[in-house]
């Protein structure tokens, strides 16, 4: 199994780029998506993670590691996997390295770099279709005035609870605090890939494909 860890601040474009890479045969696993699904299904996991997510804080390592390790072990051996949003901390990175070794997987970390002002603007203007996940931006790609999603015809189109500006700032602080540790970890293993995440989606995608 080949694992590519996508690292980047919230709003750096990890989800968008991952979606494009799935067209090249990658499987995309996002811990944020898994947790949001758990919250909206009101599952046991959802009840455990909801408070942390609403506060823009990280879910405890132990819980995230358990969820991801069990997901990895169920995947076929020839999977090319994009891990989006995991690991975010040093203990998570160590845990991933251990699981990867146990299942014979390689791990590379792709860092998507975007300056902080651009991130705040991207995130606080982002809107999402609750039915299909299609994303919009109030300035660059405004949601239809009818309130119906242009992708699925349904809706509603809403602001993610954790995209409100106050929470965005908190999430970015949390990210900055973890980023250096992750960079050092993957640099020391010789498996760090850096890409400039500023610019059109396709241009960033082309840079990423050259690296992978």
**Residue nearest ligand AMP by beta-carbon distance:** 32
Is 7 a binding residue for ligand AMP by CB under 6 A? The answer is no
Contact 196, 104 (CB under 8 A): no
Q: Cα(180)–Cα(17) distance, rounded to whole angstroms?
A: 22
Cα→Cα distances 72→49, 91, 113, 128, 156, Å: 20, 17, 26, 28, 33
> What DSSP letter does each residue of 119-163 carry, written as one string?
HHHHHHTEEEETTT--EEETTTBPPPTTS--TTTS---EE--GGG
The single residue among 31, 50, 82, 99 that binds ligand AMP, judged by CB under 6 A, is 31
Minimum distance from residue 45 beta carbon to ligand AMP (Å)? 12
Minimum distance from residue 28 beta carbon to ligand AMP (Å)? 12
The residue (of 1 and 133) whose beta carbon lies closer to ligand AMP is 133
Q: Is 161 a catalytic residue?
A: no
Contact 87, 96 (CB under 8 A): yes
DSSP-based helix, strand, coil % in the chain, nearest 5: 50, 20, 35
Q: Is 160 a catalytic residue?
A: yes
Catalytic member of 14, 19, 36, 122: 14
Minimum distance from residue 56 beta carbon to ligand AMP (Å)? 6
Minimum distance from residue 132 beta carbon to ligand AMP (Å)? 17
Reference 109, options 211, 1, 198; nearest CA is: 211
The one segment of 51-59, 111-119, 144-152, 198-206 that binds ligand AMP by CB under 6 A: 51-59
Q: Is 88 a catalytic residue?
A: yes
Q: Cα(33)–Cα(50) distance, rounded to whole angstroms?
A: 12
The single residue among 3, 18, 64, 105 that binds ligand AMP, judged by CB under 6 A, is 64
Question: Interface residues with ligand AMP (CB under 6 A)?
Answer: 10, 31-32, 35, 52-53, 56-59, 64, 85-88, 92, 162, 171
Supply the residues annotated as catalytic.
14, 88, 126, 160, 171
């Amino acid at each position: 199994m080949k694992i590519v860890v996508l690292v980047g601040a919230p709003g750096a474009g990890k989800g968008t780029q991952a979606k494009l890479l799935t067209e090249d045969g990658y499987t995309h696993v996002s811990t944020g998506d898994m947790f949001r699904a758990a919250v909206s299904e009101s599952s046991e996991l959802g009840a455990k993670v909801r408070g942390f997510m609403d506060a823009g804080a990280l879910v405890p390592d132990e819980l995230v590691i358990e969820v991801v390790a069990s997901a990895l072990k169920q995947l076929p051996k020839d999977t090319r996997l994009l891990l989006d949003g995991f690991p975010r901390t040093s203990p998570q990175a160590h845990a991933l390295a251990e699981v990867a070794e146990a299942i014979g997987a390689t791990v590379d970390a792709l860092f998507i770099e975007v300056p902080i002002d651009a991130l705040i603007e991207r995130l606080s203007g982002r809107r999402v279709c609750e039915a299909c996940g299609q994303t919009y931006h109030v300035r660059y790609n405004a949601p239809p005035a009818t309130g119906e999603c242009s992708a699925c015809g349904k809706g509603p189109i809403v602001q993610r609870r954790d995209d409100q500006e106050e929470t965005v700032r908190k999430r970015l602080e949390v990210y900055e605090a973890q980023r250096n540790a992750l960079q050092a970890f993957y640099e020391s293993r010789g498996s760090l890939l850096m890409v400039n995440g500023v610019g059109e989606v396709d241009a960033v995608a082309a840079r990423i494909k050259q690296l992978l």
